[in-house]
Structure 1
Amino acid sequence: MHSRAFILTGLAMVAFAGNSLLTRAALRETGIDAASFTSIRLASGALVLWGLVVLRGHGISGSGNWWSALALFGYGAAFSFAYIDLSTGMGALLLFGAVQATMIGYGLWQGERLEPLQWLGFLMAFGGLAGLLMPGLSAPPIASSALMIGAGVAWGIYSLRGRAAGDATRVSSGNFARAVAFALVLSLLMVDQASLDAAGTGYALASGAITSALGYAIWYTALPMIRAVTAATVQLTVPVIAALGGIVLLGEPLTLRLVLAGAAILGGIWLVVLEKQQTAKA
């Protein structure tokens, strides 16, 4: 990987982890409610992506679709509500595990076959997730955990739908714009619980405009420069970066449960991805 690809990839991973940090910080330390955070995040992301498309001289008519937008909204809303109670690292790990499980599960449903080492990795990841959710003093809240897993499934669906959707930035722009409509409906339904302040709004704007919109644009710029196996494995760093950010910036504790479960989940997924690439080369 040459230096430009390395820098872009690193920036994208930090941006993705930043979404967890910004959302957790907003919903723990400011007065903003989760529905308003979601609406502002999606709206600011849509605006920045639209600007990027216009700067590139491309029209946006016909880009994206409502089903993908619904999946994007489902991810964004569940992600926000989950981070009311989940720590940064815990949320990122649950999200990432659910995304990968969804995409691997879809491959199996489509007829893909796992090699023995991949099955070992899959079982490791599943065992790590089960261990993460087992009752105990450091167990995450079950409702918030379910929401984050749902967010991961929604993001996995969104990613699968976007594989052959065309220009990534243009399609993302259209999907974000459509997702805003769903988010506004949610905000209207929860208007009695609406709460805004300057700090929370700032976090939501940064999450949408910078770590979402610009993060995606940077990632899609880097993707053609790196190998598929590199693209898959480098994303394993996102929960780690998020967890470290939560510890350093938000003062969150590092629990033995998170370390052991994280090692099992990320190590298991790494085995699945690596063996898949080796099998494809054979």
Structure 2
Amino acid sequence: MKVTLYTLMALIAFAANSLFCRMALAEGDIDAWSFTIIRLSSAAVCLGIIMASQIYYLRYRASKIGQPFDNRLLSEKGSWLSSISLGIYALCFSVAYVELETGTGALILFSAVQLTMIGWGIYKKETLSHLQWIAFVVAIAGFVYLMLPSAAMPSLLAAILMTISGVAWGIYSIRGKTCLSPLRATGFNFIRSLLAIPILLVAGFIYQNIMDVQLIHLNSITMEGIWLACTSGAIASGIGYSIWYMAMPLLKNTQAAVIQLCVPVLAALLGVVILSEPITLTFIIASTVILSAVLVFILNKQRY
């Protein structure tokens, strides 16, 4: 029951992230580079406050019951590999998202995530049953059916960036299986990612001058764009990724990969509820196929 709750909450956070990104970037309320910087910064600040409050509460509770504070919790500080993966994922996703159609971006992103996580799972001897392979193929088919109508031929650079983003997210997710404290691991990963902000700014301005394109639009950033970036960072990313790290140790890599195919379905549902987007027959058919296949995959026991 616990793993179901954590996983569902994390998937909703992922879907919300996609929605916030679409609302901010598609309407031109903020540029991709500024969105990424604000997103990483707000997540780091939010999790920093929560971590400090958590330590204060645990110390206070320990003193009240007369027991020594367990310092093992403080040993969790994330990792540089996770932080780099997080930063690469966030930046490449935001930049590529502007250049790609929604369906095209989702197809490339989730294909890269699936290949990374399932490939790693198979490498770690997470053998799938025949029924799981069938369910996986059916879920992929439903996902392609859902995204294909809005897909278009992507630019090479945007496709490469979105592929890199998917691989980075797959690595970041895999790294969550070994963390001691999901909250602290996620918090320190975001805090470390702040070191990349000056690099992102310099790289952005250099790219602008070389390619003669405008990537960073400081004068056109609106308060709505800033609010969406902060919400995406503090809640959907910071808290959402912490919950995902709580779920990852309870899931197989292959399970975690396939489950994420539900994110586009949830994102579409959020679009219907929040943005009043229409429900199409394609969505109904595809979502039914995807959710049913994922359920079969999860309920079927793996062979070892």
Please say whether Structure 1 and Structure 2 have the same fold, judged by a TM-score greater than 0.5.
yes
Residue 76 of structure 1 and its aligned partner are, at CA, apart by 0.7
The counterpart of 2:216, out of the listed 169, 180, 194, is: 194
Q: CA deviation at 1:18?
A: 1.0
Gaps of 5+ in 1: none
Aligned to 1:124: 138
Aligned to 2:211: none
1:139 lines up with 2:139 in the alignment = no
Range with bigger deviation, 241-250 or 22-31 = 241-250
> Does residue 173 of the first structure (1) align with residue 195 of the second (2)?
no
Return closer, same or farther for 1:253/1:142 CA change in 2, 3 Å cut-off: farther
C-alpha distance in structure 2 between counterparts of 1:266 and 1:147, whole Å: 28
* 1:161 and 2:175 correspond: yes
For residues 45-71 of structure 1, give each alpha carbon's deviation from its aligned partner in whole angstroms, at most 9, with x where no partner exists.
011111111111188677122221111
Residues 140, 147 of structure 1: alpha-carbon distance in 2 compared, 3 angstrom cutoff: farther
Which entry has the higher C-alpha Rg, 1 or 2? 2
- Structure-1 separation of matches of 2:146 and 2:285: 8
> Counterpart amino acid of 1:23?
C
Q: Relative to 1, partners in 2 of residues 1:92 and 1:169: Cα closer, same or farther, differing over 3 Å?
A: farther
Q: Which moved more, 1:60-69 or 1:18-27?
A: 60-69
CA 1:148/1:54 → structure 2, altered by over 3 Å: closer, same or farther?
Answer: same
Secondary structure at 1:111 match in 2: coil
- Alignment partner for residue 214 of structure 1, among 220, 239, 258? 239
Identity of aligned residues (%): 41
Match of 2:127 in 1: 113
Using a 3 Å threshold, how does the CA distance of structure 1 residues 140 and 264 change in structure 2: closer, same or farther? farther
What does residue 271 of structure 2 align with? 246
Contact 1:87 1:252 in 2 (8 A): no
Q: CA shift at 1:264, angstroms?
A: 5.4
DSSP 3-state at the match of 1:142: coil
The aligned runs of 1:87-106 (5 Å cut-off) are 95-96=109-110, 98-106=112-120
- CA gap of 1:14–1:132, structure 2 versus 1, over 3 A, is closer
- Per-residue CA deviation, residues 193-222 of structure 1 (Å, 9 max, x unaligned), is 31232221111111101111122345556x
Matched to 1:212, the amino acid is: S
- Of 122-131 and 46-55, deviating more is 122-131
- Distance in 2 (alpha carbons) for counterparts of 1:251 and 1:94: 26
8 Å contact kept, 1:75–1:154: yes
TM normalised by structure 2 equals 0.72
Name the aligned partner's letter for residue 177 of structure 1. Answer: I
**Structure 2 Cα separation of the partners of residues 139 and 93 of structure 1:** 8
Q: How does 1:267-282 map to 2 (within 5 A)?
A: 267-275=292-300, 278-279=301-302
Structure 1 stretch displaced more, 85-94 or 45-54: 85-94
* Residue identity matched to 2:42: S
One-letter amino acid of the counterpart of residue 207, structure 1: S
Q: Distance in 2 between matches of 1:150 and 1:258?
A: 27
> Relative to structure 2, which stretch is displaced further, 95-104 or 39-48?
95-104
CA distance in 1, matches of 2:146, 2:152: 8
Instruction: Return the alpha-carbon distance in structure 1 between the equivalents of residues 263 and 118 of structure 2.
Output: 18
Deviation at 1:124, TM superposition (A): 3.0
Helix, strand or coil for the counterpart of 2:302?
helix
Q: Residue 18 of structure 2 aligns with which residue?
A: 20
Change (3 A) 1:70 1:259: farther
**Which residue identity lines up with residue 99 of structure 1 in the other structure?**
V
Q: Structure 2 stretches of 5 or more lacking a match?
A: 56-70, 209-214
CA change 1:205–1:81 in 2 (3 A) is same
- Contact residue 72 and residue 175 of structure 1 kept, 8 A: yes
Give the 3-state SS of the residue equivalent to 1:83 in structure 2.
helix
Letter in 1 for 2:127: R
TM-score between the two structures when normalised by the length of structure 1: 0.76
Q: Classify 1:28/1:22 alpha carbon distance in 2 versus 1 (closer, same or farther; 3 Å).
A: same
Report deviation, 1:102.
Answer: 2.1
Q: Note closer, same or farther for the CA distance 1:157–1:50 as it changes in structure 2 (3 Å cut).
A: same
Q: 1:11 to 1:126 in 2, by over 3 A?
A: closer
